[in-house]
Structure 1
Amino acid sequence: MPYWLLLCCSVVIFFVLYAVQPLLALFAQQYQVSPASAGSLMTLTMLPLAIAPLFYGVLLNRRNLYRVLQIVMLVLAFSNALVPLCTEFWQLQSLRLLQGLALPAALTAMTASIALRFKGEAISAKMSAYIGSTIAGGFLGRALAAGFAEYLSWQSFFWLNSLLLLLLALFIRAKKKPVYQAHTPWRGNLKALATTRILSLYGAVFCMFFCFAALLNYLPFILRSTYAMSSTKNIGLVYSGYLLGALATLITPYLHRRFKNMFALLGGVFLFYCATIALMFYQHLSVFLIAFTCFCAAMFIIHASAAPLVNRLSRASASLTNGVYVSFYYSGGALGSFLPGLLYQEYGEYAFLTCILLVCLMGYGLIVLPQRLATGNTRG
């Protein structure tokens, strides 16, 4: 399977995950549900993403990773085509849950195949490019869904996405140069991951995506209530800050060369991440848009640095290492897409921002912790 095809598959798979996000306020009106209930469409998809990778990381041992990816894309194409046909909100929730169960197999298969095919310096570049494709998929999925909803119909975008998934799945030649990994014992794998550096890195990734999922999930509601932005098209355009922030991944390889200590780099970026959230307390639209763009940039740099770093640190199998990474990542997303929303409903935007700022500071602490412990051990 050509690497460029894997990146294209990644883009359309992330359409599935994020296309509903700018439509949450629209779904809340159409199905007559609360903002928190509408937000559950993201939570129900991310919750299996938080749990299933732990099992997929083991189950994908000795499996053809490209065949797994192909089958999952066909499942996503079928389920996505059914979304516009839902007449009840629970039907939409059920389909999102099904997609959440299928998605982690695709994500784990893609990241594990990259880890197996490339080594050394190449893995950082290839993983950064893969993360860039997920960013492109996330942005385009949100922006196109919002644009279709404004000018055509939101249903037509879901059907288009299903067609793209189907076509790309048919392009995968799973039998030509298949990628397998050798079977490794479960206990040895877990022991290899149970180090302070790896566990603290996983925890920081949890905090990072908790904040990111929270803000992007409730962004349509904040823009409507605080900044009187009612157009779905304009809300979709705000996500362009997401794309501008994504350009920060282009400088990530330079930052990796400049900083010998990757944990020091991550700590600095986490502090910047916290600062962007603090700026959002000043309720002015231009300030919010700048802070939002920088917020996205910080998240992407952390993600593009943490993913290859954990693969270099880990001696466990590629599928389990990346499966656990995906699990922590989307555990943060599942909780972030729901819990801060309850605070937002009851106490407003300031309580919401305070919550994600505290979680972001916790992520910084988890990055700093292994550095402090290493220094203490050296002195001892």
Structure 2
Amino acid sequence: MNGQHDKSLRAAFFLCGCAAFLNLYATQGILRELAATFGVSAERAGQGVSATTLAVAIIAPFVGTLAGPFARRSVIALAASLSALPALWVAHAGSFASFLAARFAVGMLMPFVFAISVAFIGELFTREQSAEVSALFVAGTTLGGFAGRFITNACASVLGWRYALDIVALLSLGAGVAIYLCLPRAAVSAHGRARTGGSSPDDARDTHHAPSRLALLTRRPLLAAFGFGACVLASQVATFTFVGLRLAQPPYGFGTVQIGALYAVFLLAVVVTPLAGRFARHRSPRELALYAALLALPAAGLTLAHGLLPILCGLALGSTAVFVEQAAANAFISQTAGAARSTAIGVYLSCYYLGGSLGSILPASAWRQWGWAGCVAFVMVAQAIAGWLAWRFWRDPAHARATEKRMPAVLDGR
């Protein structure tokens, strides 16, 4: 793989990350507007986020099978482009039930961008490179998540939330077209093999050896990774679903534009996550996950302060920790799952976004009972569990490789 081709591929996967998250949380910062339009509480309006993440959790395990016969580039680009249609439905929903159904439809398309991109990275790059490119992809999701929220809130204050979501839908369409143009028609892997179709050797082994796939997926390190992902996104969604409600109250009195600007704290992760990917080339994903979890705990505590500056610092550090944790989990699963890589990515996404759905629902009672302190307690517990899972069950890559070599031939598809 020549240097120029390598750089263009990395840029393409960064764009894939942006497309994967552009629509996912677009409604998170306009809960009060949605509540006023549909006559529901702001807490219930947050179900627009959980409906999307629930759809991702349901469809993700089947993405590898559904997309297998098709070229990776086509699947990713088509899913990103088609997401504009349910996004337009969201923008013009006539009832809250219709709004939730449209948000669910958005979530059904997103795994085809995320999961296929991560699997594609594992196919095209070496073991060491894939950790770095995965981190770059996660940095793209960070920028996409920020852009979706910020653009929605900024435009909603001027045009109204419906037209704001129209703009995000058009951006999704543009991202899909750009991905199709940026990803090469016949990509060449780091090992020099041309890859044009949708199925990888791992996928083929998954198809012909279902028992081996089950055996691989039920090992404790992977089960711990799935639980880790659920805890990580639950903490993130809980934080950014309820912090806007907190800052809208006195003494802060944030409006729609100011709440949308909060998501600028994600931009720190756009810089830090790729650097963490380079760090991961010389350290295990377990170390990276532990460092990030240890950062997330005091970051959450910092948001309990009454000054705006420490709150923003806490949000910036906490969101950065989450994205680094996500990059660590992607790398760990890619290095550990062996013949079940594609399926493992889908199951991880399912658990990850199921955790995200719970993150917008479970803290609601704590918010009503104890306010922001109750939400912070939820976040810290979720992060503590994530850190414990990584510390207790994740193996170093060298250990995982040695274990794979000792497994019976039927388990690795040979």
**What is the match of residue 407 of structure 2?**
none
Q: CA deviation at 1:329?
A: 1.3
Q: CA deviation at 1:30?
A: 2.1
Q: Check whether the contact 2:243–2:372 (CA below 8 A) recurs between aligned residues.
A: no
Answer with 3-12 or 49-58: which moved more.
3-12
**Pick aligned residue for 1:205 from 201, 224, 229:** 229
**Pick aligned residue for 1:340 from 363, 368, 371:** 363
Q: CA deviation at 1:170?
A: 4.3
Q: Check whether the contact 1:273–1:295 (CA below 8 A) recurs between aligned residues.
A: yes
**What is the match of residue 41 of structure 2?**
34
**What is the match of residue 96 of structure 1?**
103
Deviations 1:171-222 (A, max 9, x none): 5279932332242232211212222222212211211111011111112101
2:197 alignment partner AA: V
Matched, 1:235 2:244: no
Matched, 1:179 2:186: no
**What is the match of residue 135 of structure 1?**
142
Equivalent residue runs for 1:23-172 within 5 Å:
23-170=30-177, 172=180
Q: Check whether the contact 1:11–1:133 (CA below 8 A) recurs between aligned residues.
A: yes
**What is the match of residue 408 of structure 2?**
none
Q: Check whether the contact 1:267–1:367 (CA below 8 A) recurs between aligned residues.
A: yes
Instruction: Specify the SS of the correspondent of 1:337.
Output: helix
Provide the rounded CA distance (Å) in 2 between the counterparts of 1:27 and 1:277.
Answer: 27
Equivalent residue runs for 1:280-359 within 5 Å:
280-359=303-382
Answer with 119-128 or 156-165: which moved more.
156-165
Q: Which runs of 5+ in 1 are unaligned?
A: 375-380
Instruction: Specify the SS of the correspondent of 2:226.
Output: helix
Residues 298 and 232 from structure 1, CA distance in 2 versus in 1: closer, same or farther, beyond 3 angstroms? same
2:300 alignment partner AA: I
Instruction: Specify the SS of the correspondent of 2:98.
Output: helix
Answer with 99-108 or 141-150: which moved more.
99-108
2:232 alignment partner AA: M
1:179 alignment partner AA: G
- Paired positions, count: 373
Provide the rounded CA distance (Å) in 2 between the counterparts of 1:361 and 1:16.
Answer: 29
Deviations 1:234-270 (A, max 9, x none): 11112111212432213203432453x4323322321
Q: Check whether the contact 2:154–2:256 (CA below 8 A) recurs between aligned residues.
A: yes
Provide the rounded CA distance (Å) in 2 between the counterparts of 1:226 and 1:266.
Answer: 36
Bigger relative contact order (CA 8 A; separation at least 6): 1
Deviations 1:55-88 (A, max 9, x none): 2233333433333223323431111122222221
Answer with 93-102 or 56-65: which moved more.
56-65
Instruction: Specify the SS of the correspondent of 1:198.
Output: helix
TM superposition score normalised by structure 1: 0.90
1:215 alignment partner AA: T
Q: Check whether the contact 2:81–2:173 (CA below 8 A) recurs between aligned residues.
A: yes
Q: Which runs of 5+ in 2 are unaligned?
A: 187-195, 400-414
1:333 alignment partner AA: G
Q: CA deviation at 1:105?
A: 2.3
Deviations 1:321-373 (A, max 9, x none): 21122112111111101111232123322222212211211111111212699
Q: CA deviation at 1:9?
A: 4.1
Q: Check whether the contact 1:61–1:319 (CA below 8 A) recurs between aligned residues.
A: no
**Pick aligned residue for 1:214 from 226, 238, 245:** 238
Q: CA deviation at 1:273?
A: 0.9
Instruction: Specify the SS of the correspondent of 2:198.
Output: coil
Instruction: Specify the SS of the correspondent of 1:22.
Output: coil
Provide the rounded CA distance (Å) in 1 between the counterparts of 2:384 and 2:255.
Answer: 34
2:227 alignment partner AA: G
- How many percent identity over aligned positions? 23
**What is the match of residue 377 of structure 1?**
none
Provide the rounded CA distance (Å) in 1 between the counterparts of 2:290 and 2:17.
Answer: 28
1:151 alignment partner AA: V
Q: CA deviation at 1:223?
A: 1.0
Provide the rounded CA distance (Å) in 2 between the counterparts of 1:252 and 1:239.
Answer: 21
